[in-house]
Amino acid sequence: MALQDVLIDELRDMYSAENQLVKALPKLAKGAKDATLKTLFKDHLEETKGQVLRLREVFEHLGKKPTGQHCNGMEGVIEEGAEALEKDEEGASFDAGLVGAALRTEHYEIAGYTACISMAETLGLDGVVELLQANLEEEEAAAEKITAAAEPILEAAKEEPEDEDDSPKTGKEKYSDKKSKEDERKAAADVKKKKR
Ligand SMILES: [Fe+2]
Q: How far is the CA of 90 from the centre of ligand 1 (A)?
A: 28
Q: How far is the CA of 111 from the centre of ligand 1 (A)?
A: 11
Query: Is the Cβ–Cβ distance between 97 and 87 less than 8 Å?
Result: yes
Q: How far is the CA of 109 from the centre of ligand 1 (A)?
A: 6
Band the pLDDT of 151: cuts 50, 70, 90: very high
Least confident of 103-107, 165-169, 172-176: 165-169
Least confident of 58-62, 83-87, 93-97: 83-87
Q: How far is the CA of 106 from the centre of ligand 1 (A)?
A: 7
User: What's the CA gap between 94 and 13, in Å, rounded?
Assistant: 30
Task: Give pLDDT tens digits for 22-42.
Answer: 999 999 999 999 999 999 999
Q: How far is the CA of 92 from the centre of ligand 1 (A)?
A: 25
Q: What is the dihedral of CA 75, 78, 79, 82, to 10 degrees?
A: -150
- Global pTM value: 0.93
Q: How far is the CA of 35 from the centre of ligand 1 (A)?
A: 21
User: What's the CA gap between 70 and 21, in Å, rounded?
Assistant: 13
Residues 6+ apart with CB under 8 A from 33: 91, 92, 94, 95
Name the 3-class secondary structure at 165.
coil
Neighbours of ion ligand 1 (CB under 5 A): 48, 51, 109
Band the pLDDT of 19: cuts 50, 70, 90: very high
Query: Is the Cβ–Cβ distance between 139 and 106 less than 8 Å?
Result: yes
Q: How far is the CA of 88 from the centre of ligand 1 (A)?
A: 28
Q: What is the mean pLDDT of residues 112-137?
A: 98
Task: Give pLDDT tens digits for 87-115.
Answer: 888 789 999 999 999 999 999 999 999 99
196 or 77, which is more confident? 77
